[in-house]
Amino acid sequence: MNVDQLWKNVQEELKIVMASAVFQTFVSKTQLVSLVDNIATIACPNAYLVDINKKRYFQLFKDALINQTKNNRLDIQFILQPTIKSEELDSPNEPLFSYQGNNSLSSGLHPLYTFQNFVVGNSNNFAYAATQGIVKNPGLSYNPFFIWGGVGVGKTHLMHAIGHELLKNNSNLKIKYFPAETFGNELISALKSKSINQFKNKYRHLDCILVDDIQFIAGKEYIQEEFFHTFNALHMNGKQVILTSDRKPSEIKGLEDRLVSRFLGGLTVDIQPLDFEMRLAIINDKAKTSNINITLEAISFLADKEQTSIREIEGNLQQLAVKALSKNIPVIDLQFIQGFFDPSQQIQSSNSLSKTNPRHLISVCAKFFNFKTGDLLGKSRQKDLVFARHLTAYILLNEIKLPLKEVGRLLGNRDHTSIMHARDKITRDIINNNQLLSTINQIKQSL
């Protein structure tokens, strides 16, 4: 067997045992250049890949080579050979989902949170496998389905993906996503307006409810009472109930025992913090979805940062994209991203707007677009007003570095998914519209 054929076989073996994004980043661009005196020499296109392959994947490479050559005395070494090209990401060319005629928007489902762009890895593979049973037999397999885990690990995305898939299979299903806090607020409003029967009918005649952050009803006696009856009405009729929380049911203080018992009556799964491979795959996917031109080496460098939250990863990637755009840099490469994370640049960035009063910023944004601050924080869906609100949310997140929930509270008590949608939309628009970046700079200069 010649060297080229041997390496092709080794790569095929590694493709099976490694996540696709990991293989694409670290293996696909390597080459076996020689096999002499029981030493296999593997070339990498840059020094960063040489270092990562030595530290992380040395044994996988060695085991695959030994398996293919049947030579247990074989050892390996990595060398730098810049002539091997390191390709950039391809742009996405497929729609996020292909089903039509559904009512996903009125169901409250985020259009980007689908299975198609949900990255499966060690931290969530059990939870993902369970969702496939729910999609095939809603209301019968794993009901209720309780997902718990830390902030930004993908609980909400997985929940929305189930909703999208259910609608894809049956567009007539009545599905509703809502944060638990929204349920409580609407219940209080219904009591004040004496429309409690309408409230009950709204939630008890659905085929599937997807309730985010159920821990927020803890300690609220009447809200728990109403949710208990809503849960029972749906569950007894074979309707699917899906819940998320930042902790498992038995650890939610102030949650009534009867609700804990109901929640534990189905399947409870947890999503662990992201490991390196998961971060790598997520960044790869987010870059493709947002059409961000970034090299694989830059992706691996970003993934190597200790980030446990998908939102933190998204935020870093978006800031990189905007910074590259502002400097007219067409491709985010390893050199650019290393400069971005240079400590001196981080200090300079953090000192820019971090001390700005958030409410003052909101007032400045409203004035910039000729709106009253109250209108900006209100419920109007007027196109120009929505754009101004989205841009304000983007600046609060990316310039003042406020958390999602805090931005939502400041902008009229909106839930975190609405703020995420605003941030993502502005980021996509910036990449395709240089004028928008200029608008943001004008607002920053007026502070």
CATH number at residue 198: 3.40.50.300
CATH number at residue 363: 1.10.1750.10
Least reliable range by pLDDT among 63-67, 113-117, 164-168, 282-286: 282-286
Least reliable range by pLDDT among 52-56, 144-148, 226-230, 277-281: 277-281
224 and 248 share one domain: yes
357 and 405 share one domain: yes
- Residue 172 belongs to a domain: yes
- Residue 281 belongs to a domain: yes
**208 pLDDT above the threshold of 60:** yes
Of 232, 253, 271, which residue sits at a domain end?
A: 271
237 and 297 share one domain: no
441 and 293 share one domain: yes
Domain residue limits at 51: 3-80
285 and 434 share one domain: yes
The whole-number pLDDT of residue 348 equals 43
Higher per-residue pLDDT: 394 or 244: 244
- Residue 246 belongs to a domain: yes
Cβ contact 298:182 at 8 Å: no
73 and 141 share one domain: no
- Residue 91 belongs to a domain: no
The whole-number pLDDT of residue 29 equals 83
Least reliable range by pLDDT among 52-66, 166-180, 391-405, 422-436: 422-436
**Model confidence pLDDT, tens digit, residues 375-421:** 999 988 898 999 999 999 988 887 777 888 889 999 998 888 888 88
Using pLDDT thresholds of 50, 70 and 90, give the confidence band for residue 86.
very low
136 and 237 share one domain: yes
Please state the rounded mean pLDDT for residues 331-349.
68
**Model confidence pLDDT, tens digit, residues 88-99:** 333 333 333 434
The whole-number pLDDT of residue 94 equals 37
Whole-structure pTM value? 0.60
149 and 288 share one domain: no
Cβ contact 156:262 at 8 Å: no
Using pLDDT thresholds of 50, 70 and 90, give the confidence band for residue 81.
confident
Three-state SS across the chain?
Answer: CCHHHHHHHHHHHHHHHCCHHHHHHHCCCCEEEEEECCEEEEEECCHHHHHHHHHHCHHHHHHHHHHHHCCCCCEEEEEECCCCCCCECCCCCCCCCCCCCCCCCCCCCCCCCCHHHCCCCCCCHHHHHHHHHHHHCCCCCCCCEEEEECCCCCHHHHHHHHHHHHHHHCCCCCEEEEEHHHHHHHHHHHHHCCCHHHHHHHHHCCCEEEEECHHHHCCCHHHHHHHHHHHHHHHHCCCEEEEEECCCHHHCCCCCHHHHHHHCCCEEEEECCCCHHHHHHHHHHHHHHCCCCEEHHHHHHHHCCCCCCHHHHHHHHHHHHHHHHHCCCCCECHHHHHHHCCHHHHHHHHHHHCCCCHHHHHHHHHHHCCCCHHHHHCCCCCHHHHHHHHHHHHHHHHCCCCCHHHHHHHCCCCCHHHHHHHHHHHHHHHHHCHHHHHHHHHHHHCC
Higher per-residue pLDDT: 278 or 113: 113
Tokens coding 168 = 């894809």
Least reliable range by pLDDT among 61-70, 179-188, 296-305: 296-305
259 and 175 share one domain: yes
- Residue 431 belongs to a domain: yes
Cβ contact 331:88 at 8 Å: yes
Using pLDDT thresholds of 50, 70 and 90, give the confidence band for residue 365.
very high
Of 80, 97, 132, which residue sits at a domain end?
A: 80
- Residue 95 belongs to a domain: no
Tokens coding 93 = 């060319």
- Residue 184 belongs to a domain: yes
- Residue 102 belongs to a domain: no
288 and 413 share one domain: yes
26 and 66 share one domain: yes
343 and 371 share one domain: yes
Total structural domains in the chain? 3
Of 271, 304, 330, which residue sits at a domain end?
A: 271
The whole-number pLDDT of residue 95 equals 36
Nearest to 285 by CA among 299, 301, 266: 299
**Model confidence pLDDT, tens digit, residues 9-52:** 999 999 887 766 678 778 888 999 999 989 999 998 877 788 88
CATH number at residue 17: 3.30.300.180
Looking at every residue in the chain, the average pLDDT score rounds to: 84
The whole-number pLDDT of residue 89 equals 37
